[in-house]
Amino acid sequence: MAKKKIYIIDDDHDVIDAMTIVLEKNNYEVAAQYDDENVVENVKAQMPDVIILDVMFPEDSSAGFNIARQLKSHDDLQRIPILMLSAINERGIYVGRFSNKDLDESFLPVNLFLEKPLKPAALLEKVASLIGK
Amino acid sequence: METANIAIVGAGKGGYECLKVLLTTPNVLIKYVCDIDPNAKGVMLAKQHKISYVARLSEFIHDPEVDLIFESTGRPEVFEELSRAKLPTTSLVGSGGTRVIFSLLDSYNEVNRSLRSYKMNLERRIIERTEELEKLNTELSKEKAATERLYEQQREINEEKSRYLIHTTHQLKAPFAAIHNYVDIILDGYAGPLAQETRDLVLKIKTRCELLSETILDMLELARLKAQDLELVREDVDLCAVVNDVVERFAVSAAAKRLLVRVDAPKEPLIARTVGKRLFELLAVLLENAVKYSPPDGSIEIAMKVASDGKRVISIMDHGIGIPEANLGKIFREFFRSNNAVRFEPNGNGLGLAIAGEIANLLDITIEVESELEKGTTFHVRI
Ligand SMILES: Nc1ncnc2c1ncn2[C@@H]1O[C@H](COP(=O)(O)OP(=O)(O)OP(=O)(O)O)[C@@H](O)[C@H]1O
Ligand SMILES: [Mg+2]
């Protein structure tokens, strides 16, 4: 069976490297980009099985949300599941040190959220669940 | 009252006194002063006041304007001559009567004078007071303006500080998360098998990482609260429900220490207009501390009631290590941890109560604390 392909969009190369180590060890093929430019074209070229997307980019704090909407508005891309990395405590997703962090997923066209800092096991579990769908 | 025209006969000692009193009596016009001695004391005074001086009775006795003659020579023959010669419309008062009248007049004048001076004093004091008040007022408004300026400056500085803090903590978070990632990857064996000693050390790094990321989140939370960079939508909140949520949140950590958390809640919902999420956070800080600073196998009591002033009061009581009296005033400070707490539980960043205090501030809640060392602590939250 061909390896499943994961495409990562994150501005932090260490975060990308760490995920790449975990994913490659678990038989995924990984491609990535470090900025928020030409995302739609790049994803079209890669046609990954899962997209991992960071919420924040240095130049635009809501770039992640916009990218997600762009991807979901393309007919041939919208079926690709998106796993969004939500740096906790950002834009009210995490609302306090004791809140139960349940997320309102309806307001964003993404399929799953994953908290930073990432736990390898959680990453693998979420990726697997998205591919299984 | 009509003015009475008066003539005084005899300007010696008695006449002089009469004159003096009459000069200060209202509604009186002294028309003549009569004495054969042009150098008599009363004559001098009369001249000073431009009163007509006459030497003989005949010079004024037929003046119909004279209403009243005061005879003050004390000589009977003068009185007799006056009563004979005076017009019937003119009244005559002899020496005896004159003395009585004058002593009366004198006291009347005295009373009048005191009244006048009292009134003047009063007016003066009113003026003085008004001036004082005005001065105070201008000083006050100057002070108020200065205070407002100071307050404004302080607000700006605080905002700047909070913005800076929010920014820095944000900046800290990303690199820190990256370190944390790598630690997890190493521990999960992605970098090859680990010797036990290495694993122990990396685990220590991981623990510190977790504590530090908690600190960073708390600092960010605190900065946001301070910058009031949060939506505060007040609603009718059922306090019993919030308390139950908080208890549930700490059920596992309480159970791990075999601590029984008892909630004494009223039967009916206890409603308060506040921000539920923030209140949850505030109470969570307090219950977290109660669990954290209690030895195993004990209990924590939470009571709810309506105080006599209508405020809702939630009390969280533990039987733990207590807070030294000298530190009671410091526990809401950022990063403050009491030595007895650090000895008992080394992990903590001292931001919990700072956050709780900031939330209380925003929601007009007061937190009171009672504590006895090694006996326990109670926090009362008044909403
Ligand atoms: N229930 C309690 N019993 C005893 N001491 C307490 C209690 N609650 C607070 N304290 C004292 O107040 C200090 C400050 O509390 P705070 O919750 O702000 O910080 P912390 O618990 O030390 O750390 P953290 O930020 O992790 O909560 C504590 O270190 C402790 O000394
Ligand atoms: Mg605490």
Question: Which residue from B208, B212, B250, B337 has its CB within 8 A of the most atoms of ligand 1, so it is best to mutate?
Answer: B337
Residue A104's pLDDT is: 44
The residues, ordered by sequence, that sit 6+ positions from B371 with a Cβ below 8 Å of its Cβ are: B322, B323, B325, B328, B377, B378
Residue A26 burial (CB count, 10 A): 14
Q: B230-234: long-range contacts at Cβ-Cβ below 8 A with a sequence spacing of 24 or more?
A: B230/B278, B230/B362, B231/A92, B232/B275, B232/B278, B232/B362, B232/B363, B233/B275, B234/B273, B234/B274, B234/B275
User: Which among B373, B335, B376 is positioned nearest to B352, based on CA atoms?
Assistant: B335
Residue B178: which of A12, A119, A121 has the nearest Cβ? A12
Residues of B in contact with A120 (CB under 8 A): 184-185, 188, 190
Distance CA B270, CA B109 (A): 76
Give the pLDDT mean for A16-30. Answer: 94
Q: For chain A, what is the mean pLDDT? A: 80
What residue ranges define each of the domains in chain A, with the CATH number in brackets? 4-131 (3.40.50.2300)
Per cent of chain B over pLDDT 90 is: 51
Q: State in Å: Cα B173 to ligand 2 middle.
A: 21
Residue B226's pLDDT is: 80
pTM for this structure? 0.60
Residue B35's pLDDT is: 92
- Asked if domains B4-93 and B235-382 share a fold, the reply is no
Give the pLDDT mean for A70-84. Answer: 90
Residues of A in contact with B174 (CB under 8 A): 12, 15, 87
Q: Where are the domains of chain B?
A: 4-93, 154-227, 235-382
Q: How confident is the model at residue B202 (pLDDT cuts 50, 70, 90)?
A: very high
Q: pLDDT tens digit string along B122-158?
A: 888 888 888 888 998 999 899 899 999 998 998 888 7
Residue A18: which of B181, B213, B284 has the nearest Cβ? B181
Residue A58's pLDDT is: 63
Distance CA B374, CA A104 (A): 44
Q: Pick the ligand that lies closest to the CA of residue B338.
A: 1
CATH of region B4-93, choose from 1.20.20.10, 3.40.50.2020, 3.40.50.300, 3.40.50.720: 3.40.50.720
Give the pLDDT mean for A122-129. Answer: 93
Strands B4-9 and B68-71, bridge-based pairing: parallel
Topology of the domain comprising B235-382? Heat Shock Protein 90 (3.30.565)
Residue B209's pLDDT is: 86
pLDDT at A89 over 60: no
Search chain A and give the residue with CA nearest B190.
Answer: A22
Q: For chain B, what is the mean pLDDT? A: 89
For the Cβ of B338 lying below 6 angstroms from any atom of ligand 1, the answer is yes
Tokens at residue B333, please? 């400070």
According to DSSP, residue A121 is labeled: H
Task: Read off the amino acid at residue A12.
Answer: D
Q: Would you tell me which residues 281-300 of chain B have a C-beta closer than 8 angstroms to some C-beta of chain A?
A: 281, 284-285, 288
pLDDT at A105 over 70: no
**Which residue has a Cα nearest atom 31 of ligand 1?**
B338
pLDDT at A119 over 80: yes
According to DSSP, residue A89 is labeled: T
Q: Which atom of ligand 1 is nearest to the CA of B320?
A: 3
Q: Do B181 and A25 touch (CB under 8 A)?
A: no
Segment among A6-10, B114-118, B166-170 with least mean pLDDT? B166-170
Q: Do B277 and A121 touch (CB under 8 A)?
A: no
Residue B181: which of A25, A92, A117 has the nearest Cβ? A117
Q: Which atom of ligand 1 is nearest to the CA of B341?
A: 31
For residue B209, the distance in angstroms to the closest alpha carbon of chain A comes to 10
Q: Pick the ligand that lies closest to the CA of residue B345.
A: 1
Convert chain B into a string of H (helix), E (strand) and C (coil): CCCEEEEEECCCHHHHHHHHHHHCCCCEEEEEEECCCCCCHHHHHHHHCCCEEECCHHHCCCCCCCCEEEECCCCHHHHHHHHHHCCCCCEEECHHHHHHHHHHHHHHHHHHHHHHHHHHHHHHHHHHHHHHHHHHHHHHHHHHHHHHHHHHHHHHHHHHHHHHHHHHHHHHHHHHHHHHHHHHHHHCCCCCCCCHHHHHHHHHHHHHHHHHHHHHHHHHHHHHHHCCCCCCCCEEEEHHHHHHHHHHHCHHHHHHCCCEEEEECCCCCCEEEECHHHHHHHHHHHHHHHHHCCCCCCEEEEEEEECCCCCEEEEEEECCCCCCHHHCCCCCCCCCCCHHHHHHCCCCCCCHHHHHHHHHHHHCCEEEEEEECCCEEEEEEEC
Q: How confident is the model at residue A84 (pLDDT cuts 50, 70, 90)?
A: confident
Residue A1's pLDDT is: 67
Q: Chain A interface, mutation test: which of B185, B214, B229, B233, most A Cβ atoms within 10 Å?
A: B185
- ipTM score: 0.73
Residue B362 burial (CB count, 10 A): 16
Per cent of chain A over pLDDT 70 is: 75
B188 Cβ under 8 Å from any chain A Cβ: yes
Residue A40's pLDDT is: 94
